[in-house]
A = this chain, B = another copy of it.
Amino acid sequence: MPDHVFDEAMRLTRLEGGEQGSTWQGGTHPAYWNMVGPFGGYTAAILMQALMTDPVRQGTPVSLSVTYAAPIREGAYTVQTRLVSATRSTQHWSVQLVQGETVAVNAIALLAQRRPVWGTRDIAMPDVPPAASLPRLELDPKRPAWVQRYAFFPQRGGFDAVARGEPTTDTRTEQWVRDEPPRPLDFAALASICDVFFPRIFLHRGSFVPAGTVALTIHFHADEAALAAVGETPVLAVAKGVNYSGGFFDQEAHIWGADGTLLAASQQMVWYKE
């Protein structure tokens, strides 16, 4: 069986490395291309992939914060993982994606050993019908390549209102999402899914507006068992806009497993042009 296209896109070759991290060689993949560069979720995912593959990696991700510094050109890049601090149960990493002399992506991550302790949740999972009961979004083939890599089952706040040119002040999106074709969820794929929402400003304007994510933070709640429980099934991806001023707006998002487990919470800042 050939590799899933996501696995192809996540392929990294370790050029060198040691106790303090590694240098990885990778390359952009046309299947995850956006309009002028890779889909931002792909970029977050490749950083996570480098971290999870690093021979000195211990624990699973607690947080990943990424800033998108420069356009990523089609072709080769290196990912540099650097372990800057560690305890028995935590690892603090700096990660950069570099093309030539340019640091295109600047990131930090925290990995840790999770412990089976008391837990609870202060927010409720939105009451959304199961993915299987919702029609799958038919994608306009003119939309960017990466969009075709996902199956979307929108309940609310889909792209259709934007496509019809209808502005709305309701910027909440609730949609089931899975890789297309289906693929077992891992931390890289979860990082990518945190960025599958089109820019919230499109909803306000009822149209396309030049916009791009400049900063993305993901707080991971899923452990390996939670990912295994999801497997290849769709996850519920929920986002809403917050504040738009000075050319930047932010978005808060939550990614849920069908069983009600909160897998990740994320927050991003998006540059926009009026």
Contact = CB atoms under 8 A, between A and B. Distances in A.
Contacts of A49: none
Most buried by B among A108, A221, A246: A246
Interface in A191-215: 200, 204, 214-215
Interface of A: 62-63, 65, 67, 69-70, 84-85, 87, 90, 92-94, 96, 102-104, 106-110, 112, 114-123, 169, 171, 200, 204, 214-215, 217, 219, 221, 223, 240-250, 252, 254, 262, 265, 267, 269, 271-274
A117 B273 contact: yes
Contact of A67 (B108, B169, B215, B241): B108
Nearest to A214: B110
A87 to B, nearest CB: 7
A92 B107 CA distance: 10
Given A115-B246, A215-B65, A265-B242, A106 B85 contact: yes
A122 B90 CA distance: 36
A106 B122 contact: no
A31 B94 CA distance: 31
A123 to B, nearest CB: 6
Q: How many copies does the complex hold?
A: 2
B204 A120 contact: yes
A38 to B, nearest CB: 17
Nearest to A83: B103
A169 B262 CA distance: 17
Contact of A110 (B84, B103, B215): B215
A119 to B, nearest CB: 4
A187 B216 CA distance: 20
B106 A107 contact: no
A105 B229 CA distance: 34
B118 A246 contact: no
A119 B219 contact: no
A85 B104 contact: yes
Given A69-B84, A114-B248, A267 B92 contact: no
Contacts of A92: 67, 69, 103, 106
A120 B70 contact: no
A187 B115 CA distance: 36
A115 B84 contact: no
A118 B274 contact: yes
A215 B63 contact: yes
Contacts of A121: 242-244
Contacts of A122: 169, 171, 200, 240-243
A267 B194 CA distance: 15
